[in-house]
Amino acid sequence: MSNIYTKTGDKGKTSLFDGVRVSKNSIRVEAYGTVDELGSHIGFCKNYFKGQDIYDELFLVQNKLFIVASILATEDQKKIAHEIKEEDIEALERLVDKYMRQLDNGKGFIIPGTNQKAGSLHIARTVCRRAERRAISLSEIADVDPLVIRYINRLSDAIYAIARYSEDEEINVNYN
């Protein structure tokens, strides 16, 4: 059995996918770490949807998030092994359309979380928005494939659509 600890990060540095050493608090590490966090949240959400299309759809998203994280975790763009494609974004758009079409009224703000599955998806959605902000911050100082940022943006829309579809009822925000 091999140990999972290497002790190479004990002084606050970590290695990117291409071997470059960076501080663990760099925006690049923050960006791919937030994507990793999102993937874990989606893994939790999947548990509420066993035997349903949503389970499989979330599983596919988790796989794509490994590609997104690997891209964000690679400084040398020539060493990126996998990429996000336009078709990946289009697949998310189809998910948004599929679930938003099934709502009576998908407009306006609602109070999220009328059940555990919807609540967990809304948490994943907010983590996805944070991942998008981190990827944009990274893009301001380093090359980031614009398709990656578009994918994360569209993913938050897809998670929102699935969450809203999963609500037991839509409780509109009361502004009084």
pLDDT in tens, 101-125: 998 766 667 778 889 999 999 999 9
Written in H, E and C, the secondary structure of 94-123 is HHHHHHHHCCCCCCCCECCCCCHHHHHHHH
Return the higher-pLDDT residue of 69 and 2: 69
Spatial distance between the Cα atoms of 38 and 61, rounded to a whole number of angstroms: 10
Nearest to 166 by CA among 126, 125, 119, 128: 119
Q: Are strands 13-15 and 21-23 parallel, antiparallel or unpaired?
A: antiparallel
What's phi and psi for 21, nearest 5 deg? -90, 130
Across 74-78, 109-113, 150-154, least confident range:
109-113
Spatial distance between the Cα atoms of 68 and 127, rounded to a whole number of angstroms: 14
CATH 3.30.230.70 fits 19-166, yes or no: no
Give pLDDT, residue 80: 85
Give the pair of three-digit tokens for residue 4: 């999972």
Spatial distance between the Cα atoms of 107 and 100, rounded to a whole number of angstroms: 10
Show Cβ contacts of residue 118 under 8 Å, excluding neighbours closer than 6 positions: 112, 163, 164, 166, 167, 168
Percent above pLDDT 90 for the chain = 68
Give the pair of three-digit tokens for residue 76: 């040398």
CB 96 within 8 A of CB 161: yes
Domain boundaries, the chain: 19-166
